[in-house]
Structures are given as C-alpha cells and as structure tokens.
Structure 1
C-alpha cells in the first residue's frame, strides 16, 4: 500500500529532527512528544502545526488563558479531535507548507512545524531565556497564517488577528516574571 505522503531522503530527515527536538525547554517538550505520538497514531508521517497545537492546549494553562474562555477552547479541541480522527474538512489533503520542500519521513517535521520551532527558539532568546516556552511555540505557530493550526483555529471561530496580540501580552508578562 502506498503512503499518501512521500518519504524524504534519509540524509535530510534524522539530524534536523534531532536538532529540533533537542531545543525545546521543559514546558513544550511534553507537547512535542505528544504531538509526535498523535502524528504516529493518526498515521501521519510528519508532525504538523495542528499536531503541536493540540497538546499545547491540553497541557498548558497559559496557552488556554489567551483564548476567549472555556467554550472557545472546547470548540477548538473538538475541531482538533475531529481532525485527528479524519473528520475535519480537507484532512486528507496535501502536506502542510510543502511547496517544493520534501516531506520528512518517520514522523519528522512538516516544513511549517519546523519553521515554527525555529521561530519559537528565536522568541525564547529575545526574552533572555535559553528554553522555549509553550507561549513561544504558540506565537510561532499562529504567526504563519498558512498553517494547518491556523486553519483549525479559524474553523473553531478563533480570530487569529486578536489572538496574536494576546499571546504577545502574555509572553511579555511571563518574561517579566522570570
């Protein structure tokens, strides 16, 4: 049976994946691990931004706090669950952010998720920290309007234009507390 997502050459998959996974701080490390498990359970060969968004929402109170309360978070989690079981519109579509970029095999990173992790690392450095926080990763995911996570956010009724400034405010507050 042929996979719906083509594999990337091995020379490009392993070291980049290891480097990305070694970078998160203690906060999002569990989310990254959960996203990897979710991608594998879903039969996906890569972690995309929606895979990352799901455990961020489930596990981090600071992430949930930037949304419009419990009903919005519940709607969003519902959309993410539907997506993971194959009911979300367009779920079986193309690779996220692929363009001409090959896909990472063995539940590696989609180009968009890898870019989000890189941006989250930069954000952590701006705060003076060396560890990425969940809010850094959320901000990096939301900053790219073409990601699957942003598509899910919009489908759940989240106004992404309002969300990003909320994340920035919460991030500044967290930086000040450190």
Structure 2
C-alpha cells in the first residue's frame, strides 16, 4: 500500500546547518535573540526592528558604530516597543515592498530579505560568514523597513550608516553620527 502522504522533494538550496555555517556567532546570537523577543512580545513575525534590537544588544562591533548617547536613545526606543508603538505592528506583516508578502509565522519578508543581503555583502567582501555589521548595512538599505523607522525616531539617518560601518570595519574611528 502506498504511503498516504507523498514524499516531498528534497529542499533546494542550503540547509539549516549550511546557513548557520555562513553566519558569525554574533549574528546567530542576534537571530536567536530576535526570535525570543518576537515570541515574548506576541508578534506574529520576527521583523527588522527585532533584528536591530538584538544586534545592538549582542554585537559589540554594531554598538561601536553608534556613539554613547545615540546608542542609549536607540535602545531606549526599542525597549518601549512592547508597551507603545510596537503594539501597532503586532497585527500586521512588515512589508517594505522589497519582496513579496508571505503571511505566515517566522521571518517578515523584509527581515528575510535583509538576512539574504547580509550574506551577499559578506560574500562580496570575501568573508565566508555574514556578520552583524553586514546585517546592519542591509537593514539600513531598506528605507521602508521598521528598523529604519526606529533609527529615524532615534535621530539616526540610515543613509550614513554604510560609511560608518565601513569605517568600523577598517578599524577607523567612526566619529559622531550625522543627524
């Protein structure tokens, strides 16, 4: 008798182990933190603001991109998410228009796209692992995502982040963030 459930074809593309090998320990930690944060807040999906919050908490290189007062404003704003403005986001799917909307639990389309862009950025740099700074640049590049909204509310212009990240990657001092 044939099985009731037909066999599914093998998944195309990299599997979970291969994906994890392409991410730094800091980025894996940030992803896990974003997943926990979304579950704790009762959000349907992990969005770019969850990723930004976890990056700021878990990756020292990402924190170095921001000076003390800006970092404090960002973290303060993100902490308020579950009790204030973030409640407006709970019933919606983050869609910045960069990818088709998928209405299921997991990663928002914008967050999944940012992760993919982070991996591509690391490959261009010749690094086999995407890092937190790669994800920060990817988040800032999507001007319609929630992470950019958070950055803007904290007084950070997303347009200037890539050059600050490049300065941080080169070992230079990033200096003050432009308003």
List, as ranges, runs of 4+ consecutive aligned residues in structure 1 with deviation greater than 4 Å. 18-21
Spell out the pairing of 1:13-52 with structure 2 (5 A cutoff). 19=16, 22=20, 23-52=22-51
Query: Per the alignment, do residues 51 and 171 of structure 1 end up closer, same or farther by CA in structure 2, a change over 3 Å counting?
Result: same
**How far apart, in 1, do the equivalents of 2:68 and 2:96 lie?**
33
Secondary structure (helix, strand or coil) at the match of 1:97 reads coil
Q: State the partner residue of 2:163.
A: 165
Spell out the pairing of 1:86-105 with structure 2 (5 A cutoff). 86-88=83-85, 90-92=88-90, 94-97=92-95, 101-105=101-105
**1:126 deviation in Å?**
1.2
Contact 2:74 2:150 in 1 (8 A): yes
**1:15 deviation in Å?**
9.0
Please list the CA deviations of residues 12-59 of structure 1 after superposition, one character each: whole Å capped at 9, or x if unmatched: xx999x749634222200000000000000101211000000111112
Secondary structure (helix, strand or coil) at the match of 1:157 reads coil
Spell out the pairing of 1:114-153 with structure 2 (5 A cutoff). 114-153=112-151
TM (norm. structure 1) is 0.78
Tell me whether 1:66 sits opposite 2:65 in the alignment.
yes
Q: Which has the larger radius of gyration?
A: 2
Name stretches of at least 5 consecutive residues in structure 1 with no aligned partner. 1-10
TM (norm. structure 2) is 0.77
RMSD: 2.7
Structure 1 stretch 32-41 or stretch 162-171: which is displaced more? 162-171
Name stretches of at least 5 consecutive residues in structure 2 with no aligned partner. 1-7, 173-179
**How far apart, in 2, do the equivalents of 1:91 and 1:101 lie?**
15
**1:86 deviation in Å?**
3.1
**How far apart, in 2, do the equivalents of 1:104 and 1:92 lie?**
13
Residues matched between the structures, number = 158
